[in-house]
A and B are shown apart, each in its own frame.
Chain A
């Protein structure tokens, strides 16, 4: 079946630090992979995506590469800002029904 395992938080960093949030997946077929972000009091927003192996998704300084050999989609940012404080969800798009499978979410707090 489909599942996502995501690095547990919370993660606390100083501004300008390097960020990595690990995500691995189990899937049948060839899924699409996503990172969603949830800012306080808001719904989820798509941060970036990759639809096939070796694709790199990027947005707002965040990057993630679809690694089929390691079944991973780790989120990285070279220099985080206070405004990046949010909950980050790794998600897998299953081919059946078009639904998403989510990881548990990782709370990121960035201090000035």
Chain B
């Protein structure tokens, strides 16, 4: 069972560079999320999607973009990398919406990004 797969696991970017963090799930989940985890700060929601073709901003969307052309994939794009985007990024998926408690949210292993 693959679950939620994120790539790459590690990346170092220079200021101003761009990159895409990939996220794919094979559970046919409608809800997908991108979080960032800063040290001692918990997880903050960047963007989310409730289905293919539908995306919206979370708490900290500035500097990021997403797309959801298929149910399976939810890539996160950084256009002009800044040191403030140094963080660990987690993608998650859920069948019904993680807050319902009815079923479990599944997380990828994370992407550790450093911007220098």
List residues of A whose CB falls within 8 A of some B CB. 4, 6, 31-34, 41-46, 49-51, 89, 92-100, 102-105
A32 to B98, CA, bound (A): 9
Q: Which chain A residue lies CB-closest to B104?
A: A46
Q: Which chain B residue lies CB-closest to A41?
A: B109
A89 to B107, CA, bound (A): 13
Question: Is A98 a contact of B43 with CB atoms below 8 Å?
Answer: no
Q: A43-B108, A43-B110 are in contact. Are A98 and B100 (CB under 8 A)?
A: yes
* Interface majority SS (helix, strand, loop, mixed), chain B: mixed
Residues of B within 8 A of A97 (CB): 48, 50, 56, 97, 99
With contacts A97-B50, A102-B35 known, what are 7 further pairs, Cβ within 8 A? A43-B107, A44-B92, A93-B100, A98-B94, A99-B99, A100-B99, A102-B43
Question: Is B99 a contact of A98 with CB atoms below 8 Å?
Answer: yes
Question: Is A34 a contact of B101 with CB atoms below 8 Å?
Answer: yes
Residues of A within 8 A of B107 (CB): 43-45
User: Is B96 located at the chain interface by the 8 A CB criterion?
Assistant: yes
- 17 A–B contacts from the bound complex (CB under 8 Å): A32-B100, A34-B101, A44-B90, A44-B92, A44-B107, A46-B104, A51-B101, A51-B102, A89-B42, A92-B99, A93-B100, A94-B99, A97-B99, A99-B58, A99-B99, A103-B42, A105-B40
Number of interface residues of B (CB under 8 A): 29
User: Is B74 located at the chain interface by the 8 A CB criterion?
Assistant: no
Residues of A within 8 A of B97 (CB): 97-99
A98 to B101, CA, bound (A): 9
Q: Distance in Å from the Cβ of A13 to the closest Cβ of chain B?
A: 20
A102 to B60, CA, bound (A): 14
Q: Distance in Å from the Cβ of B41 to the closest Cβ of chain A?
A: 6
A51 to B90, CA, bound (A): 24
User: Is B82 located at the chain interface by the 8 A CB criterion?
Assistant: no
Residues of B within 8 A of A6 (CB): 42
Residues of A within 8 A of B109 (CB): 41-43
Residues of A within 8 A of B42 (CB): 4, 6, 89, 102-105
A44 to B92, CA, bound (A): 9
